[in-house]
C-alpha cells in the first residue's frame, strides 16, 4: 500500500485512541468546563473522521461518523446531558467505527450501516434532544449586555449560556484593551487563563474607551468562584470585570426542570496571580521503517568510532602530525552533518503525500455531488515535516469540501455561463523564502460577498450600512460558527470547517488569505513557516559576519583586484549588471569597497530572469547547513533562518528577498542623483 495511506491509517488510529480516552474521562465526575471541553474535542474528532472517510472514498463510514457528530453537537449545545448510558452508547458507536476501519484496512467491503446495532439507542437519544412543543429556552436575554452584543452571539454560544445558567453556574465578563502589536498573543493568554478555571463561552469585539488606542474585547466565562486576581493582565489591560449572567435570575419553573449540580470543591487559594500551568503538549509520534532506523544506527556507530580515534590521537598528540587530527575532525564534522540530515529526513515527507490523500476525496465528492472536476497538482517534490503534514490534512479536507460544495457550479450552471462542463481545481505548493506556500484555486462562482455581508450583519459581526472591503468580507468566512448555508449536510454547513482551518494555520504560525472574483473563481492561499531544513549554501562574509546563500540562486561568483562600490555596474559574460553591497541590502553600514561579488538570479513573471550582483567582503566554500527558522527572525528582511557554526551563527539569506532589497536600494541611489 502507498506509504502516504499508511500515514492516513495511522492518523485514523490516533483519532480513535483520542476519542476513547476522552470518553473515558466523561465517566468520572468532572467540573462543568472540563466536561464541555471534552465534548467539544469529541465533536471535532468525529468531524475529522467524517472528512477523512470522504477523502478515502468511504461514504457509509462518513455518514455514520456524521450521525455520531450530531450526538456530540447536541451534547455541546446542552440539549443532551452526559449520563452513563449515553457514554456507553457513544463508546459502542466509536468501537463500531473502529472495527469497521479494521475491516476496510484488510480490504473488506463497507457494511451497509456501521451503527445498525445502535439504531434504537441513537434514535432514543435524538428523541430526547428534540425540542418540546413551543420551542427551546433561550436564556441569553438574561445577560447584562446591550442588545447588539446579545445578537452577536452564535447559536452555539446562546445554547451554552442557557445550559450553564440552568446548571447554576454564573457567567462573568472580562473587558480588556490590548495593544495592536501584541493583541493576538495577549488575547490568547487571557483565553487560556479563563479556560483553565472555567468555560470560555465567547470573545466579543468591544468599544475602545475614549483616549485609549488598541483593540478591546469582552470575554465571557462560566465559572464558579471567579477570581480576577488570577488573570494574567498587564498594567491597564483589564478595563473591568462584571457578573453578566446570574443563575438566581432564572425563573423557578425552569430551575426545577434540571437539578443544580453541587459546586465542585474549590482548590486552595493560590497566593500569586501568575499564569495557570500550561497544559501538557501532545507527544509527537513518528512511525518509521525499520531500515531507516538501522541506517541511522550504522552512521552513529561510524561517528562514534571516529570520536574514539580522535581521542586516541589527542592522547598521542606529540607523536602525530597536525594533518591527521585535522583530517579526522573534518570527517567527524561530515559524519555529524550526515546524521543530522538523516534525522531530518526521517521527519520529512514529500508534499505529493498530501496530494495523494486529497485526490480520492475529490473523486468521491465529485461523484456524490454530480460535479465533474478536473484536478491538477504542482510542487509535489517539495518536502515538509511529517508532523506538519498531519496537521495540514484536516484543514485541506475542509478547504476542498468547501471548494466543491460552495465554489464549483453544477454542470448545467457552468454550461449556461459558457464554461466547460467540468470544473477546475488546481492545488500548488511552492517555497517562497522561509515559507511554504499552498494555493488552492477553482474556476467556480467565487465567494458570494453579498450573502456573506448579509449573514455577517445578522450575526452581529459587522454593522449594517457601513462600507466593507472585499478583504474584510472574505475574512468573515473564517469566523467561528459562520456559514452561509441554512442547513448542515454531511459535506458542510455547520460553520466549523473554516474556523478549524484558521485555528490550525494560526497554530502553525502561518497565514491564510482568501480572494475571489464573481463567476471567475476563488483563491485560498496558505503560507507556513518552515521550521528546519538542510540547505546547500555558498558561504560569504560581510562586516565580520558569516552568511549563507542558497546555491540554487547563485549564477556566478567572481573576485578580483578591482575595488567595487554599490551602485556601479560589473561586466559578467559580456553583460553589464548592477551591483549593490550586501550591507546596503540588509540596512547595515556600507563598506569602503569590495573585491568580490555573487550574481543572484530569479525567474521573473515574464520569461526573462532578474540578475543582480551582490557585493561581499569574502567568498568561502560551499556546504550544507542545517537551517532553523528562529522566532526572532520573523520580521527580519532578507533572512531565512540561522545555522549554528563554530564561529557563531551563519545567517542564511532569502535570495528572493535580497534581490528585492537590492533593487529598492539601487532605485534609491538613482533617485538621489
**Cell numbers at 200, concatenated:** 470560555
> What value, to the nearest 5°, has the Cα angle with vertex 196 and ends 195 and 198?
60
pLDDT (0 to 100) of residue 341: 65
Q: Which of 52, 66, 35 is nearest to 104 (CA)?
A: 52
Which pLDDT value is given to residue 255? 59
Residue 450, pLDDT > 60, answer: yes
CB 141 within 8 A of CB 150: yes
Structure confidence at residue 275 (pLDDT): 35
C-alpha pair distances (Å), 72 with each of 35, 59, 76: 12, 20, 6
DSSP helix/strand/coil, 392: helix
CA dihedral 126, 132, 135, 137 (to 10 degrees): -90
All cell numbers assigned to 389: 503534514
**In 10 A of CB 206, how many CB atoms?**
17
597: three-class secondary structure by DSSP? strand
Domain ranges of the chain: 3-129, 139-255, 291-348, 363-529, 532-672
The residue among 187 and 388 whose pLDDT is bigger is 187
Helices (H), 168-316: 183-197, 252-255, 290-315
Predicted confidence band of residue 320 (pLDDT cuts 50, 70, 90): low
Q: Which of 203-207, 298-302, 523-527 has the lowest average pLDDT?
A: 298-302
| pLDDT on residue 372 | 94
Percent of the chain with pLDDT over 90: 21
Name the pLDDT band for 658 (thresholds 50, 70, 90): very high
Long-range pairs, 449-454, Cβ under 8 A, ≥24: 449/473, 449/474, 449/516, 449/518, 451/484, 452/476, 452/477, 452/484
E strand map for 435-480:
435-442
Q: Name the most confidently modeled range: 91-100, 381-390, 577-586, 603-612.
A: 577-586
Q: Give the percent of the chain with pLDDT over 70.
A: 79
pLDDT for position 634: 52
Q: Residue 599: which of 570, 624, 623 has the closest Cα?
A: 570
Determine the average pLDDT of the residues in 589-594. Answer: 88
User: Which whole number is the average pLDDT over 412-432?
Assistant: 92
The number of residues in the chain equals: 673
| pLDDT digits 0-9 by tens, 199-224 | 999 988 888 888 888 888 999 999 98
CATH topology for the 363-529 domain:
Heat Shock Protein 90 (3.30.565)
Q: Comparing C-alpha atoms, which of 497, 542, 516, 525 is closest to residue 658?
A: 542
Instruction: Say yes or no to pLDDT of 375 above 90.
Output: yes
Instruction: Give pLDDT tens digits for 455-471.
Output: 888 877 888 888 888 99
The per-residue pLDDT for 629 is: 65
Beta bridge partners of 596: 559, 616
* Measured CA angle at 457 (ends 453, 463), to 5 deg: 100
Check whether 312 has a pLDDT greater than 70.
Answer: no
Q: What is the pLDDT of residue 560?
A: 75
pLDDT tier, 274 (very low <50, low <70, confident <90, very high otherwise): very low
Q: What pLDDT is attached to residue 530?
A: 72
| Measured distance CA(237)–CA(219) in Å, rounded | 13
How far is residue 519 from each of residues 92, 284, 443, 452, 516, measured CA to CA in Å? 46, 43, 8, 16, 9
Nearest Cα neighbor of 379 from 441, 438, 440 is 438
Q: Which of 299, 395, 377 is nearest to 345 (CA)?
A: 299
Q: What is the mean pLDDT of residues 282-286?
A: 48
d(CA 461, CA 498): 16
Query: What is the SS3 assignment for 288?
Result: coil
Residue 583: per-residue pLDDT: 93
Q: Quick count: other Cβ atoms within 10 Å of Cβ 182?
A: 12
Q: How far apart are CA 280 and CA 278, in angstroms?
A: 6
Decide if pLDDT at 148 tops 50: yes
The confidence score (pLDDT) of residue 224 equals 87
Q: Where residue 340 falls among pLDDT bands split at 50, 70, 90?
A: low
Instruction: State the average pLDDT over residues 25-53.
Output: 84
CA 666 to chain centroid, in Å, comes to: 38
Report the SS3 class of residue 203.
strand
pLDDT tens-digit readout, 356-371: 778 877 887 888 889 9
Whether pLDDT at 273 is above 80: no
Residue 313's alpha-carbon distances to 300, 303, 322, 469, in angstroms, are: 20, 15, 10, 71
Residue 259 pLDDT more than 50?
Answer: no
Residue with cell 457550479: 409
- Is the pLDDT at 490 greater than 70? The verdict is no
Task: Report the pLDDT value the prediction gives residue 321, as an integer from 0 to 100.
Answer: 59
What number does CATH give the domain 139-255? Answer: 3.30.70
At residue 297, the pLDDT reads: 60
Say yes or no: do domains 363-529 and 532-672 share a fold: no
Domain 3-129 has CATH 1.20.120.160: yes
CATH number of 532-672: 2.30.30.40
Q: What is the mean pLDDT of the chain?
A: 80
Which one-letter DSSP state was computed for residue 505?
H
Amino acid at each position: 500500500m502507498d506509504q502516504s495511506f499508511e500515514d492516513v491509517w495511522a492518523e485514523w488510529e490516533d483519532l480513535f485512541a483520542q476519542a476513547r480516552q476522552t470518553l473515558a474521562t466523561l465517566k468520572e465526575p468532572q467540573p462543568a468546563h472540563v466536561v464541555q471541553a471534552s465534548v467539544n474535542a469529541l465533536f471535532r474528532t468525529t468531524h475529522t473522521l467524517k472528512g477523512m472517510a470522504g477523502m478515502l472514498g468511504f461514504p457509509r463510514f462518513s455518514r455514520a461518523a456524521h450521525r455520531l457528530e450530531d450526538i456530540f453537537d447536541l451534547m455541546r449545545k446542552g440539549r443532551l446531558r452526559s449520563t452513563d448510558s449515553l457514554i456507553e452508547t457513544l463508546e459502542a458507536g466509536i468501537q463500531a467505527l473502529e472495527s469497521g476501519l479494521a475491516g476496510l484496512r484488510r480490504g473488506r467491503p463497507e457494511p451497509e450501516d456501521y451503527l445498525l446495532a445502535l439504531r434504537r439507542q441513537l434514535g432514543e437519544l435524538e428523541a430526547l434532544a428534540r425540542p418540546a412543543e413551543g420551542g427551546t429556552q433561550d436564556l441569553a436575554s438574561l445577560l447584562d449586555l446591550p442588545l447588539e452584543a446579545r445578537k452577536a452571539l452564535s447559536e452555539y454560544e446562546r445554547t451554552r449560556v442557557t445550559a450553564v445558567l440552568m446548571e447554576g453556574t454564573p457567567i462573568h465578563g472580562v473587558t480588556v484593551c490590548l495593544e495592536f502589536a501584541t493583541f493576538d498573543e495577549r488575547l490568547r493568554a487571557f483565553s487560556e487563563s479563563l479556560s483553565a478555571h472555567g468555560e470560555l463561552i465567547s470573545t466579543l469585539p468591544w468599544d475602545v474607551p475614549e483616549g485609549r488606542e488598541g483593540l478591546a474585547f469582552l470575554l465571557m466565562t462560566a465559572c464558579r468562584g471567579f477570581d480576577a486576581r488570577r488573570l494574567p493582565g498587564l498594567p491597564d489591560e483589564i478595563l473591568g470585570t462584571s457578573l453578566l449572567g446570574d443563575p438566581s435570575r432564572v425563573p423557578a419553573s425552569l430551575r426545577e426542570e434540571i437539578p443544580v449540580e453541587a459546586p465542585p470543591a474549590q482548590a486552595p487559594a493560590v497566593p500569586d496571580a501568575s499564569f495557570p500551568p500550561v497544559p501538557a503538549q501532545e507527544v509527537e509520534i513518528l512511525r518509521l521503517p525499520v531500515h531507516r532506523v538501522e541506517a541511522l544506527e550504522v552512521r552513529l556507530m561510524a561517528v562514534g568510532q571516529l570520536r574514539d580515534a580522535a581521542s586516541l590521537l589527542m592522547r598521542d598528540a606529540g607523536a602525530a602530525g597536525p594533518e591527521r587530527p585535522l583530517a579526522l575532525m573534518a570527517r567527524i564534522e561530515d559524519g555529524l552533518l550526515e546524521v543530522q540530515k538523516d534525522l531530518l529526513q526521517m521527519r520529512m515527507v514529500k508534499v505529493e503525500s498530501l496530494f495523494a490523500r486529497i485526490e480520492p476525496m475529490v473523486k468521491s465528492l465529485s461523484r456524490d455531488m454530480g460535479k465533474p472536476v478536473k484536478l491538477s497538482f504542482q510542487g509535489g517534490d517539495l518536502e515538509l515535516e511529517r508532523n506538519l503534514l498531519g496537521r495540514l490534512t484536516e484543514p485541506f479536507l475542509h478547504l476542498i469540501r468547501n471548494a466543491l460544495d460552495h465554489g464549483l457550479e453544477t454542470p448545467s450552471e457552468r454550461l449556461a455561463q459558457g464554461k466547460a462542463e467540468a470544473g477546475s481545481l488546481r492545488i500548488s505548493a511552492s517555497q517562497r523564502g522561509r515559507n511554504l506556500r499552498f494555493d488552492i484555486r477553482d474556476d467556480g462562482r467565487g465567494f458570494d460577498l453579498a450573502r456573506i455581508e448579509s449573514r455577517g450583519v445578522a450575526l452581529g459581526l459587522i454593522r449594517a450600512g457601513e462600507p466593507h472591503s472585499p478583504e474584510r468580507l472574505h475574512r468573515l468566512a473564517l469566523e467561528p460558527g459562520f456559514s452561509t448555508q441554512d442547513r448542515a449536510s454531511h459535506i458542510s454547513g455547520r460553520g466549523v470547517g473554516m474556523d478549524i482551518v484558521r485555528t490550525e494555520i494560526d497554530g502553525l504560525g502561518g497565514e491564510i488569505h482568501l480572494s475571489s472574483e464573481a463567476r471567475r473563481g476563488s483563491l485560498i492561499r496558505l503560507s507556513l513557516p518552515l521550521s528546519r531544513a538542510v540547505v546547500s549554501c555558498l558561504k560569504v562574509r560581510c562586516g565580520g559576519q558569516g552568511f549563507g546563500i542558497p546555491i540554487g540562486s547563485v549564477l556566478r561568483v567572481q573576485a578580483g583586484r578591482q575595488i567595487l562600490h554599490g551602485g556601479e555596474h560589473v561586466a559578467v559574460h559580456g553583460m553589464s549588471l548592477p551591483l549593490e553591497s550586501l550591507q546596503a541590502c540588509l540596512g547595515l553600514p556600507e563598506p569602503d569597497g569590495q573585491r568580490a561579488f555573487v550574481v543572484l538570479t530569479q525567474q521573473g513573471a515574464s520569461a526573462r530572469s532578474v540578475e543582480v550582483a551582490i557585493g561581499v567582503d569574502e567568498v568561502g566554500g560551499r556546504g550544507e547547513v542545517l537551517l532553523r527558522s528562529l522566532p526572532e527572525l520573523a520580521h527580519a528582511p532578507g533572512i531565512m533562518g540561522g545555522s549554528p557554526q563554530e564561529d557563531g551563527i551563519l545567517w542564511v539569506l532569502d535570495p528572493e528577498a535580497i534581490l528585492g532589497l537590492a533593487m529598492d536600494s539601487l532605485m534609491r541611489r538613482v533617485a538621489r542623483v
